[in-house]
Structure 1
């Protein structure tokens, strides 16, 4: 009896596992950098999350989740007649290979109905759901650093009918 087939089957299985691992790595190629969340004061009900996202293929950010907020939405800020306003959007386009910044002046994530205060230095868990052109969804887990209240801010925007508590100085 020869033992030759078993090692070759093992090599084949290892090769297949390696190739599958590479395929998974290639499909999970959305990169998130510089993720941060604005710290809050006691009693504040909302905050913003900001980051840079680069997808390797044409994709879109379709959802964000976080255990620190009961309601998480993707918003876009815009200027109309010298008035800054903000509205919810269904998705943010992520063109292949291009960095898309979610910042205080454009697209950003709103964390609303916060479950507690977010303090400077906290790590805020976020899960981004990105959908590629084939409709395949990828979940990306990010720990965003909470930054002090004096970080660049979008507090002067018109948030419409949303309940956003104002900071007291």
Structure 2
């Protein structure tokens, strides 16, 4: 298996996990916070998608999917390319209000399609390219792609857990 196929295999698992976490939930269920200041399913899936969108756009030197259409409006937010959810207060978490589960699925699928185009054809040497010199050691493309996948997998797992709490009553 080559590098491109391996990364594609990992990232191609995420759309089904996102769908399983949100499909069939009402807007109220998507906004449900299981405790004071806790993250809702809607916020978790929005955040993991925003992080992937932000980082992949940076790697492609392109605009984010988030600012290319009415995505922000479907979440009750402004189309700020800098707002990925990092450091959100409880009030900011509660302000992420997806209009539906489909809004989360559609946004994630749009971002995943762009990610897939980046992954297609990557070779081993591509992974060593430095993409962020602000860290010590500098971050390579390979490290960044693993970091995005790891962050997404953690958050989609958290969303699935919150869904289980909702369904358990």
- TM-score when scaled to structure 1? 0.28
Higher strand share: 1
Higher helix share: 2
- TM-score when scaled to structure 2? 0.28
Structure possessing the higher radius of gyration over alpha carbons: 1
